[in-house]
Amino acid sequence: MRRRPALIATALLMGTGLLTACSPGAPEVSVGAGPVSDPAKVSAAQLVYPLDPYKTTDEQIRGLEKAQDLLTADCMKRFGFTYRPAVRPAPRGKSASSRYGVTDAAAVGRYGYVKPGVSAGPDKPAEEALPPAEQLALSGPPLKAKPGGGLVLPPRTLEESRRTDSGRTVNGQKVPVGGCGREGHLRLYAEKKDPVDLLYVFGMESEAFSRARQSPKVAGAVKAWSACMAEKGYRVTDPVSPQQALGLRSEAEFGGAPAIAAAKQDVACKKRTDLVALWYAAEVGFQNALMDEHAETLKQVKVELDERIRKAASVNGG
């Protein structure tokens, strides 16, 4: 399941010097635990990471959304209501944007810091307010506030939810805690057991990304990138989201002529300093180290993901 290195990956690591990386906080990077993409050959947006097989794909997310809508509708039917799912934006093709900020010379020459096709974002049309009984069935009674701030946690599994009395009924039926919206979620994600945190892999990726950013080689490359940007008068330190430091305050400004000029320099500096390749290689090393450290939980993540996808397919009639 884990993608272990190809020769090219090992060569890539050797090229970046990471195989011998023993700086404080850096993982022990073993020969063979390397990148699966070559940043010289693929765009930053298309790089593949060791944790990718544990992530839910966009297509799988769409299947889960559909299944959850159907399960919510099934619950609402019990109360005599027809559930209207939210209108979702049409899926887009492969993104050209990367986690490392702007990296594509052709795209920035046209769009600057705007993400093509995304920047303005799909609208979120207001929905008609539901009649009170229907609203109650959908979202349940208000959650209780915790003394001192925040909300009391609702039940975490369907079983626990069914044992918990919300204290409200609609059309003779007990309203679930959190309403049919929450029941639809629990039926798909947590019938009997609270699953591993759905953001577990996100957490691992974030940790690897951030540790890599702080590793000496990448920190050095970021400094070099800043110096390169300064050559054209741009005083920035964050290669991922430099817009605010560049004085760009709105989406409209992100695509203006000054933004395009800055973004062009940004991409050129990333290339000159080899920032993406260094960051990627370091990140892969940290991901592999974290994967070894949390192997058991990851195994469970994969089991639950596969079960969830199967269940969604079954609900969706697939």
Partner 1 sequence: MKNTALRRALTAVAALGTLGTGVLATAGPAAAVTRDGYLDIREFGLFYNSALGGSFIDLYMADGDLANDRFISPGPGQGYAVGNNAASYFNKDKVTWYVYTGAGAGGVEGWIPANYFGTFSTTFKNQVSSVYHFKAR
**Within 7-26, which residues bind partner 1 (CB under 8 A)?**
none
Burial status of residue 136 (CB atoms within 10 A of its CB: 0-12, 13-18, 19 or more): buried
Minimum separation from the CB atom of position 296 to partner 1 (A): 13
Contacts to partner 1 from residues 275-314, by CB under 8 A: 290, 294
Maximum Cα–Cα distance across the chain? 72
Segment 134 to 163, residues that bind partner 1, using CB under 8 A: 135-136, 138-140, 142-146, 148-154
**Binding to partner 1 in span 211-270, by CB under 8 A:** 211, 238, 240-241, 243-244, 251, 254
Q: Does 316 sit near partner 1 (CB under 8 A)?
A: no
Report if residue 193 touches partner 1, rule: CB under 8 A: no
Q: Which residues contact 37 (CB under 8 A, 6 or more apart)?
A: 46, 47, 48, 280
Residue 48 to residue 129: CA distance in whole angstroms: 44
At 174, which helix (H) or strand (E)? strand 173-174
Place of tokens 């933004």: 259
Alpha carbon of 272 to those of 59, 150, 262: distances in Å?
36, 48, 15
Which of 95, 106, 69, 273 minimizes the C-alpha distance to 187?
69
Q: Quick one: tokens of 285?
A: 């090393």
Tell whether residue 132 is a contact of partner 1 (CB under 8 A). yes
Contact code string over 97-116 relative to partner 1, x by CB under 8 A: x-xxx-----------x-x-
Q: How far is the CB of 236 from partner 1 (least distance, A)?
A: 13
Q: Which part of the chain contacts partner 1 (CB under 8 A), choosing from 12-20, 162-170, 183-191, 215-223? A: 183-191
Cβ distance to partner 1 smaller for residue 19 or 102: 102
- CB of 10 or CB of 214, closer to partner 1: 214
